[in-house]
Amino acid sequence: MTRLLRDYGSLDDVASAADKLFAQARPVFLLLADAGGLMQVEIGQHGRYRLIRQQSGTLAHTNHYADTSLLDGAQTIGPSSQARLERIRFLLDQHPAHTLSEFERLSRDRHDGPDNSLWRSGREHTLAGWRIALPAGAPPRLQLTLANPGHAERDGDYALDARSGRSRRARYCRERTKDRPLPDCLLRMTPGGLSAPACSSALPICRRC
């Protein structure tokens, strides 16, 4: 993920380098966005992967494959993964357009109990929710919630600027009001504004929100 966000500035760049990026990668799910659209990446076994791109609408993913042809055998879908995917799709379908504040509300949904909800507090805990807006002609905006068990929740709302850092290719984002660096793993941005927005444990992204 670090290499992807550091070296590729758009979904077009990612699509052009897909074999280089994904054919040797370990199995993983990615949801990517830039100011022009959305991309879902499923990386399966033995170099198999699938990209889905769309210019508008929403994409959502949880912890199981949509394309089982990427796997050698049958897939067992956990009840939590299925419940969360159905729930976030239902909630996203309720409105034709979306906002960061709505995504925050959706990420905290506890409709299906402590183990199967979008925001979990049972056998597994949701540790963070983060929402990114990529407005055309303006810096990206990040809303971040950290929810480490045993600690008070921490919320932040940041405007992100790409600035020169320790190398010419890396960009580090800072909190504008205090000019204090935020964690690199969350905030490395590329010149074209490629991002990996997520929302709690259901990972929805939208275009033209």
**Who's near 81: CB < 8 A, 6+ residues apart?**
62, 63, 64
List pLDDT tens digits, range 128-170.
998 888 887 888 888 999 999 889 999 999 888 765 333 222 2
> What DSSP assignment string belongs to 139-150?
--EEEEEE--TT
List pLDDT tens digits, range 46-101.
999 999 999 988 999 999 999 999 999 999 999 999 999 999 999 999 977 788 88
Residue 205 pLDDT grade (very low, low, confident, very high; cuts 50, 70, 90): low
pTM for this one? 0.77
Specify the pLDDT at position 101. Answer: 86
- Report d(CA 152, CA 132) in Å as an integer: 22
Q: Is the pLDDT of residue 209 over 80?
A: no
Q: Which residue has the higher pLDDT, 160 or 175?
A: 160
Q: What is the mean pLDDT of the chain?
A: 79
Q: How many CA atoms lie within 13 A of 150 on its CB side?
A: 0
Q: Is the pLDDT of residue 207 over 80?
A: no
Positive/negative CA dihedral, 29, 116, 120, 38: positive
